[in-house]
Amino acid sequence: MDTLEQETQQASEDWEEVGEESMQQEQETGQKTENEESKTTKEIVHQKRKKNERKRGSSITQGSSFVHGLATGLGIGCITAFVMMWMAVFFTPRLPIGITYEAMLATFIYPLIYLFALGLIALTVGIVAEYYTVKNRI
């Protein structure tokens, strides 16, 4: 009986040691997982901040305001040229006998459309780009 009791006692001690070791391993694993999770979230946040700083740094240049103002001015100029050309075509006081308003409109319709479209596009690009540049600076 002595050997049986010793074996039982030894088995229970071994069982407790294995249980303690597995608990320690689980705690270490849990700590590692928590540390890894906190590191990964910290790294992710750090990477996003760096990316945002790079975006801000690249989008804000010293001459960007000039370029946006130039685009806006080009757009306003093209729309003004469109209005002046439109007025010249339709309000010409004396037309020669062979020229009609339809013929003049047919001649100038493509430059009119081009000037109007270019003006709208340039004006929109200039205003929107300046708006977002100013917004990102704040």
Task: Summarize pLDDT for 75-116 with one digit per residue, the tens.
Answer: 999 999 999 988 888 887 777 788 888 888 888 889 999 999
Mean pLDDT rounded to a whole number for the chain: 75
Is the pLDDT confidence value at 22 over 80? no
Contacts of 111 (CB under 8 A, 6+ apart): 85
Evaluate whether 75 touches 126 at the Cβ level (below 8 Å).
Answer: yes
Domain ranges of the chain: 1-59, 62-137
Which letter does DSSP use for residue 100 in this model? Answer: -
Is the pLDDT confidence value at 5 over 70? no
Is the pLDDT confidence value at 127 over 70? yes
Evaluate whether 79 touches 120 at the Cβ level (below 8 Å).
Answer: yes
Q: Give whole-number Cα distances, 108 to 21, 86, 88, in Å.
A: 90, 9, 10
Residue-level pLDDT at 119: 92
Q: 138 or 124: whose pLDDT is higher?
A: 124
